[in-house]
Amino acid sequence: MSQFTLHQDNNEGTVDVKVGDKITIDLQESPTGYRWDIDEAGKAIVRFEGTSFAGSEGSGVGGAGRRTFTFSAVKKGSDTISLKHWRSWEGESSVNKRFTVKIKVRT
């Protein structure tokens, strides 16, 4: 089992993994009220495992940091993970960034 960590420069790319591999997406998040959230993930090929936030050193409460999403490849096939950077209480019109990556899972 391998671990793949993706960043902003992987946006709109493709990643080849094997069943059982872990995929993490690590993106910068700022204290403007905008948060990264899942827009689309999963056709039973890639399973969402969880998300976490780590503040930047010295940023304090409400400061900038990194949002990390963790997924696992569960069966052979292709899937797309789409994330959006938005203010959920303002709805879709607040989306100001997107991150999309195609995941190809092989055995």
Hey, what domains does the chain have and what are their CATH numbers? 3-106 (2.60.40.2020)
Query: What pLDDT band is residue 41 in, cutting at 50, 70 and 90?
Result: confident
Q: Is 9's pLDDT higher than 90?
A: yes
Q: Is 10's pLDDT higher than 80?
A: yes
Q: pLDDT (tens digit, 9 = 90+) per residue, 63-98? A: 689 999 999 999 999 999 999 999 999 999 999 999
Residue length of the chain: 107
pLDDT at 58: 58
Per the structure block, which two tokens stand in for 12? Answer: 């709109």
Quickly count: other Cβ atoms within 10 Å of residue 18's Cβ. Answer: 12
Neighbouring residues of 53: CB distance < 8 A, sequence distance ≥ 6: 29, 65, 66, 67, 68
Q: Distance between CA 97 and CA 58 in Å, rounded? A: 25
